[in-house]
């Protein structure tokens, strides 16, 4: 099946498996779960001999391939690693209408995924939209995550993070061709992406076909940076939960990120569980996983010891 419609009327497309033949160095077998009539892809590796399960949450416009350099050292440390592709990205189904994407739906879909997986003693690493979703859930459900690692993300409550983000919003809506591979490459400060990496980030969106790219196009406009955004009250409520959170929170931040580099102190200062943790900053850009993947994995492994 390459196209379909859910019971709630969401029309979607499914990226052909052959599109991922260009992916190199990410030889993990995808698994799938039905979420509201949409197929959500995820990777589940390792047996968790360490007693820890590490959930890796990507953002926009990437997919689990972003963690290709982090997964091997996490597995070597004995952890179970679970990495889902958000609906609209990676190997997951892609609703074709921009109106089918909302912040609240993505929070709901990830909650459904977590319920299905019955994950326990969970450490989550979240970046970009992975954090917008994860931090919201953590604020809503204090016991969902035992530990949180944050990297270049946040939980907005109606204010803009600044001109760089506003420029990205405008670019995302006006650029004639949204080349996701080149977009990731352009944010890297310390690493030049190989052509195979660019191809892998473009693989979910064959020929840059806009019908596959609806999620990637609309995600920047879904961030609640205006006071009238419908998710602002729920995010404010979630912040109250985060402000009372004593469970550990670790910040591993890329200071070369023009979008969110300056936001590094926010979570550390507002979440009690961040106190006295071994936070680290790096010189990398927005997609830290691709510039400092092994170092990030080492920091997580050392922390979990």
Tokens of 173: 């809506």
Output the CA–CA distances (angstroms, integers) from residue 268 to 20, 145, 246, 288, in the order listed: 38, 17, 12, 18
34 is catalytic: no
Q: Which of 257, 276, 279, 292 is catalytic?
A: 257
128 is catalytic: yes
27 is catalytic: no
Which residue(s) pair with 41 in the sheet?
Answer: 32
Question: What pairing do the DSSP bridges indicate for beta strands 249-254 and 280-282?
Answer: parallel
**For residue 61, is the peptide bond before it cis, meaning its omega torsion is within 30 degrees of 0?**
yes
Residue from 135, 145, 129 nearest 266 by CA? 135
Write down the H helix ranges in 55-102: 71-76
What b/e string do you get for 218-233 counting C-beta neighbours within 10 Å, with b at 16 or more? bbbebbbbeeebebbe
Q: Which of 85, 93, 128, 197 is catalytic?
A: 128
Q: Would you please indicate which residues are annotated as catalytic (active-site) residues?
A: 128, 257, 286
């Amino acid at each position: 099946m390459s196209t379909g419609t859910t019971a709630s009327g969401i029309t979607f497309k499914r990226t052909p498996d052959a599109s991922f033949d260009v992916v190199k160095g990410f030889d993990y077998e995808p698994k799938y779960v039905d979420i509201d009539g949409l197929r959500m892809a995820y990777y589940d590796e390792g047996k968790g001999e360490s007693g820890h399960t590490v959930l890796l949450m990507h953002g926009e416009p990437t997919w689990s391939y972003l963690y290709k350099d982090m997964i091997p050292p996490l597995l070597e440390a004995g952890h179970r690693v679970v990495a889902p592709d958000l609906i609209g990205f990676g190997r997951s189904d892609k609703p074709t209408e921009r109106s089918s994407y909302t912040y609240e739906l993505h929070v709901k879909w990830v909650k459904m995924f977590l319920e299905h997986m019955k994950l326990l003693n969970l450490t989550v690493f979240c970046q970009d939209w992975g954090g917008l979703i994860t931090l919201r859930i953590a604020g809503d459900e204090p016991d969902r995550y035992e530990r949180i690692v944050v990297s270049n993300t946040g939980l907005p409550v109606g204010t803009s993070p600044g001109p760089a983000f506003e420029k990205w919003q405008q670019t995302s809506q006006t650029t004639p061709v949204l080349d996701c591979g080149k977009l990731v490459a352009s944010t890297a400060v310390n690493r030049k992406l190989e052509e195979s990496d660019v191809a892998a980030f473009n693989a979910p969106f064959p020929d840059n076909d806009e019908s596959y790219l609806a999620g990637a196009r609309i995600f920047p406009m879904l961030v609640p940076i205006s006071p009238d955004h419908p998710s602002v009250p729920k995010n404010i409520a979630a912040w109250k939960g985060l402000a009372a959170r004593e469970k550990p929170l670790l910040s591993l931040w890329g200071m070369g990120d023009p979008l969110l580099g300056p936001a590094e102190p926010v979570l550390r200062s507002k979440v009690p569980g961040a106190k006295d943790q071994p936070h680290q900053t790096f010189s990398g850009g927005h997609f830290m996983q691709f510039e400092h993947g092994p170092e990030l994995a080492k920091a997580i492994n050392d922390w979990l010891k």
